[in-house]
Amino acid sequence: MGDAYDIVVAGGGVAGLTAGLTAARLGRSTLVLGGGIPGGLLLSIERIDGYPGFPDGIAGYELCPSLQEQADAAGAEVAAVELEGLVRANGGWQIATSDGAVEARAVIAATGARFRQLGVPGEERLQGRGISTCASCDGPLLGGATVVVVGGGDSALQEALTLAQTAQRVIVLHRGDELEAQASYCSRVNEEPTIEVRYGATVEEILGADRVEGVRVRNTAGGAVEELAVAAVFPFVGLEPNSGPFQEHVALDDRSAVRTDERLAASAAGIFAAGVVRGGAAGRAAAATGEGASAAITADAYLA
Ligand SMILES: Cc1cc2nc3c(=O)[nH]c(=O)nc-3n(C[C@H](O)[C@H](O)[C@H](O)COP(=O)(O)OP(=O)(O)OC[C@H]3O[C@@H](n4cnc5c(N)ncnc54)[C@H](O)[C@@H]3O)c2cc1C
């Protein structure tokens, strides 16, 4: 990693890698701080649906490394390093990272989002011991087991479909009385005999001594409580933007996502945002990719 760049991108998901690729192609010296393993939320997805150019879907572990390769080839430097904070310096920004400090004339926030927790007893204690948000990683280890997916949106149903390939039974617990996912996921789930959807169901506790052994579920209509014996819990109840490192410099919306104008500039000069860390983001990979490119183009114009 060098000392100073035109553009530093924070985040190595599809938005960040595309921002890095685009900024480098525009001739800007570019560093992408990709966090732990670049790839973001999509890295472990078995089949990314709706991404242009891949009519049969594409695995995240294929798409993300190829995007990184493309960013590298364009001349962006991609480092598996976290942005820890930033302060104004020399008309740009001084950035603290997990591997020292760098300066940037412009910064693109593409730090994405993290899974919201259920906030119930047992969740913290059993994290990583049967609680997972990666169906493609943990599904193969759960052959023949009964597992629970919590949520009724796209992520919940997509991951339930992946789990159905290996688990004996997948129970989707949804607190509402209608699924909230794309129609294609709803119909595939309804046709999949291994998946059972329970409506009006909220998880009250995750049970187990050393690893997940069950869940306590309340029916929101009648209030009845029951215990289900399950080997794993996959919670997909929403995402929270990773906006923390930027919050003292830029305006956030009521979800703590970074506010931008229509050209993706945040409220502080020289900071731009792309992807699901941004308020109003569409929540699709194609949209995050497009925003990454747009933010880099706007940052380039700002520097010019
Ligand atoms: C289970 C699931 C399935 C999905 N399936 C689909 C699908 O089939 N089709 C589709 O179109 N969309 C899908 N999506 C949505 C898609 O994942 C998002 O739209 C997309 O990942 C957003 O990309 P992003 O780059 O904005 O953020 P992210 O993917 O969240 O990437 C952000 C990256 O930034 C890193 N980071 C965070 N903080 C820092 C920091 N301080 N410094 C450096 N790096 C940091 C993170 O570790 C991460 O690598 C799915 C989402 C989920 C949760």
Question: Looking at ligand 1, which residue's alpha carbon is closest to its atom 6?
Answer: 48
Instruction: Please compute the mean of the pLDDT values over residues 228-248 and round it to a whole number.
Output: 97
151: left (phi over 0), alpha (psi -120 to 50) or beta: left
To 5 degrees, how large is the angle CA 27–CA 298–CA 28?
15
Q: Is 11 in the pocket of ligand 1 (CB under 6 A)?
A: yes
pLDDT at 1: 83
Confidence band, pLDDT 50/70/90 cuts, at residue 218: very high
Q: Which of 174, 181, 126, 186 is nearest to 148 (CA)?
A: 174
Instruction: Check whether 301 has a pLDDT greater than 90.
Output: yes
Structure tokens at 286: 């194609």
**Residue bearing the bigger pLDDT, 120 or 44:** 120
Mean pLDDT of the chain: 95
Confidence band, pLDDT 50/70/90 cuts, at residue 36: confident
pLDDT at 51: 95
CA gap 288, 208 in Å, rounded: 38
pLDDT at 55: 94
Instruction: Please compute the mean of the pLDDT values over residues 191-201 and round it to a whole number.
Output: 97
Q: Is 58 in the pocket of ligand 1 (CB under 6 A)?
A: no
C-alpha to C-alpha distances, 262 to 2, 177, 178, 294, nearest whole angstrom: 32, 36, 33, 10
Residues in the chain: 304
CA gap 251, 260 in Å, rounded: 8
Contact 164, 46 (CB under 8 A): no
Which ligand 1 atom is at minimum distance from the Cα of 57?
A: 8
Question: Looking at ligand 1, which residue's alpha carbon is closest to its atom 2?
Answer: 155
**Residue bearing the bigger pLDDT, 90 or 76:** 76
Instruction: Check whether 222 has a pLDDT greater than 90.
Output: no
Largest CA distance in the chain: 63
Report the range of poorest mean pLDDT among 7-16, 38-47, 202-211, 280-289: 38-47
Confidence band, pLDDT 50/70/90 cuts, at residue 56: very high
**Bridge partners for 257 per DSSP:** none
Confidence band, pLDDT 50/70/90 cuts, at residue 7: very high
Instruction: Please compute the mean of the pLDDT values over residues 247-264 and round it to a whole number.
Output: 97
Tracing tokens 């819990």 back to the chain, one arrives at 233
> What are residue 266's phi and psi, to 5 degrees?
-80, -175
**Single-letter amino acid, residue 282:** A
Q: Is 163 in the pocket of ligand 1 (CB under 6 A)?
A: no
C-alpha neighbours within 13 Å on the C-beta side of residue 42: 33
